[in-house]
Amino acid sequence: MAGRLLNAGSILEGSDSRIHLRPAFSRDLIMLRELQRRCFAGSQAYGLVTLLVLYFWPRSHIILACSGERIVGCAVGDSDRGQTRVLNLCVDPEYRRLGIATALLTGIEDYFGDQFVTLMVEDKNAGAQALYRLQGYLPVSDLRNYYGRNRHGILMQKQRGASAE
C-alpha cells in the first residue's frame, strides 16, 4: 500500500510541515519503539518484541504518521470476526493537538472497514477519551484494574456509519 499524503493544511494549520500517513515497515520498528517510550509510561509502551509480533501478525496493521523521516505518531489495529480493535494509538508530545491521532484513527478504521470498532482507554486518560468521543466512540463497559492495580479501563465502541453525538 502506498503512503497516503494527508492534506497537511488541514492538520497543521499555518505550518509548512508535511505530515503523511503510511504503513510501517520492519525498518521502522526501532524508531517506533522510541516513539512508544516517549508516549507511554512504563510497561504500557510496546517493546520491540511486541512490535515485531504485531508487524508480522496477519490480522494486524500498523499505520505511521511521519514528518519527513521522523515518526511522530502511530496506530495499531487488528480485525477479528468482522470487528476492528484499536490496540494502540499515540502521538509524539511535540506534535499533539494537530489532528494527527484523529487522522491515524480514521486510517485504521478505513483500512479494516469493519462496522464496529472497539478500543480500551484508561479511566484517567481524559484527553484520549475526549478524542474518542469526538470520533463517535461510546463507553460500553468498565474493566477494573485492567491497566494494573487501581488503574481501570473503559471499553469504548464505535458503530461506523452511526452519527457521532
Ligand X SMILES: CC(C)(COP(=O)(O)OP(=O)(O)OC[C@H]1O[C@@H](n2cnc3c(N)ncnc32)[C@H](O)[C@@H]1OP(=O)(O)O)[C@@H](O)C(=O)NCCC(=O)NCCS
CA–CA separation, 10 and 6 (whole Å): 8
Among 3, 9, 113, 127, indicate the residue that binds ligand X (CB under 6 A): 127
Min dist. Cβ of residue 5 to ligand X (A): 17
Among 12, 32, 35, 99, indicate the residue that binds ligand X (CB under 6 A): 99
CA–CA separation, 36 and 140 (whole Å): 27
CA–CA separation, 51 and 63 (whole Å): 12
Kindly identify the residues of this chain, within the stretch 20-39, that bind ligand X according to CB under 6 A. Answer: 39
Nearest to 102 by CA among 139, 128, 126, 77: 128
User: Between vectors from CA 109 to CA 75 and to CA 137, what angle results, nearest 5°?
Assistant: 90
Q: How far is CA 86 from the centre of its chain?
A: 6
Among 130, 143, 162, 164, indicate the residue that binds ligand X (CB under 6 A): 130
Of the candidate spans 13-21, 29-37, 109-117, 119-127, the one that interacts with ligand X by CB under 6 A turns out to be 119-127
Q: Does 87 bind ligand X (CB under 6 A)?
A: no
Of the candidate spans 18-26, 56-64, 99-107, 136-144, the one that interacts with ligand X by CB under 6 A turns out to be 99-107
